[in-house]
Each structure stands twice: as C-alpha cells, then as structure tokens.
Homo-oligomer: A and B are copies of this chain.
Amino acid sequence: MSSEDIRVSSKAVLNKRWQSGDHGLSIERLPAKESFKSKAYAALKEAITNMNIYGSNEPVLLDERDISERLGASRTPVREAVAMLEQEGLLRAVPRRGILVVRRTKAEIIEMIEAWAALESMAARLATLRASDEAIAELRAYYKEFDTSRIERERNDDYSSANIAFHQGLIRLSGSSLLAAMTDNLFFHVRAIRHRTIFEMDRAQRSAADHQEIILALEARDADRAERLVRDHTLRLARHVESHVDLD
C-alpha cells in the first residue's frame, strides 16, 4: 500500500460547465441541505460541549448504535462524524470498548494555555501593526461597556463568556483567521474543564488595569508591549492553573 498507488483521477480535467461561467453574476450553490454526517458532527460536538466531562472520574463512553438511533440515522454517517471528532482530539474510539470522550490531563491543559498565550500575544503584535484605529476603538468600546455596566449585575457565567469574547475580539484584530481558528479550538478544550472555572480564574487574574493597559498598548501601536502584556497575562493564568487547579 505505497503512496504510489494513489493517483489523481482521470477527472482532474474539469468539465466545461465549471471552468467558465463568469458573467459577473455570481450565483451561489443553493442551500445544499447539510448531510447527516455534518449534522451528526454538530450534534456530537454540542453534546460534548454541554457534557461535564470532568464532573466524575468515570470514563465517559458513547455507543455508536445508540447514537445512530437517537439521531435517526444509520451508523455510517455517525462513524464518519466520530472519525472527524477523533481527529480533532475530542474523542477516541477504542476497539471493543466504545467511543471515549477524551479527558485532558492537567499538564495538557497547561500546554494548551501556553499555546494560547503564544497565539494571542502574536495576535496582539499583528493587531498593533494592522488593525485600523476604528477596530481598536471598537474593542475599547466593547470593553468599556462590559467592564463597567455589566460587571455588577450579571452573573459570573456571563462575565466569563464576555471575557472570552474580549480575548476573541483582540485576536480578530490581528486579521488572521488562522490564529482565530486555532485559539477558538484551544478555548473549546480549556472551556470544557469544570464549566468555566478556568475562565473565572482568568477574570480574577486580569484586573481592569490589565485590560486598560493592553488597549493602551494597541492604541499606542506598541507591538512589543502589547505582545508582552498579553503573553504575560496568559502565562500567569497557566501558572495559576498549575498551582490551584486539581485534576488527574
């Protein structure tokens, strides 16, 4: 089964109908009802999100046939969805045992936060170089609104997600959709722990002054400083998790 065996199909040369077709008028392929595969993927991912994986210490197992039934689909698309989630690191299909929802070790979580620090600080750097004044102003506005009026009256959960939104907003300023995608993925894993405790820690760690300073650095277009502030903050969170979170 060498790679030689796999070649481009004879269809590599496209059909006329697809090659041309530029009349200025661009028509999108219609809705294209999503497949069971993607529905299963979404449903599983949601289920995993809402599940408190770290609630108990028992391994969490899922059953293929069971899921197919609940979804009203056959096993095939479910298995494909599982394969994808496995690739994403959320599941692990262990033969004869079932589909295991992967539990992260504390060390892994810390690595994730460190990677997050790397990506977000780079995003901050790029943002100082690329973001428009307006975009930065928007972030400031958002931060001001949510940091002043909402803090007192809303619950921790809301603050927590608003906090995440701040991070994400900052990352989006970099203009790099890759950085955004990668951090979103990391957030997903980190968030899965203990229903948001991590991000509540983040809140505790990040003073209003921290926010302020970061935005100031952005506005001053001081790349080094913005990068350092973001990195140090997130790395502090990692250290905090290291010493105060109990897992494994």
Enumerate chain A interface residues (CB-CB to B < 8 A).
Answer: 1-3, 5-9, 11-14, 18, 32, 37, 39, 43-44, 46-47, 49-51, 58-63, 66-67, 70-72, 76, 79-81, 83-84, 86-88, 95, 97-98, 108, 111-112, 114-115, 117-119, 121-123, 126, 176-179, 182, 231
Contact B118 A114 (CB under 8 A): no
Chain B residues with CB below 8 A from A63, complex form? 9, 11
Q: How far is the CA of A40 from the CA of B79 in the complex (A)?
A: 15
Given B83, B126, B231, which contacts A83 in the complex, CB threshold below 8 Å?
Answer: B83
Q: Is the CB of B122 within 8 A of A117?
A: yes
Q: Which residues of B contact A86 (CB under 8 A)?
A: 84
Q: Check A3–B62 contact: CB distance below 8 A.
A: no
Q: Return the contact of A71 from the options B5, B18, B58, B231 (Cβ within 8 A).
A: B5
- Count chain B CB atoms within 10 A of each CB in A44, A60, A84 and give the residue with the most: A84
The chain B residue with its CB closest to the CB of A56 is: B12
CB proximity of A190 to chain B, nearest CB, Å: 12
Q: Which applies to chain A's interface (DSSP): helix, strand, loop or mixed?
A: helix
- Nearest chain-B residue to A110 (Cβ)? B176
Bound Cα distance from A115 to B95, whole angstroms: 35
Whether the Cβ atoms of B83 and A8 lie closer than 8 Å is no
Judging by beta carbons under 8 Å apart, are A122 and B111 in contact? no
Q: Are B62 and A8 in contact (CB under 8 A)?
A: yes
Chain B residues, CB < 8 A from A80: 79-80, 83
Task: Report how far A83 CA is from B58 CA in the complex, Å.
Answer: 29
Q: Which residue of A12, A37, A119, A178 has the most chain B CB atoms within 10 A of its CB atom?
A: A178
B12 touches A58 (CB 8 A): yes
List the B side residues contacting A12 at CB < 8 Å: 58-61
Q: How far is the CB of A100 from chain B (nearest CB, A)?
A: 11
Are the C-beta atoms of B79 and A8 separated by less than 8 Å? Answer: no
Chain B: which residue is nearest A51 at the CB level? B8
**Cα separation A111 to B181 with both chains bound (whole Å):** 11
Of B46, B59, B62, B115, which contacts A119 at CB under 8 A? Answer: B115
Complex CA gap A111/B30 in Å reads 29
CB distance from A10 to the nearest CB of B (A): 8
User: Please, how many angstroms separate the alpha-carbon atoms of A6 and B83 in the complex?
Assistant: 17
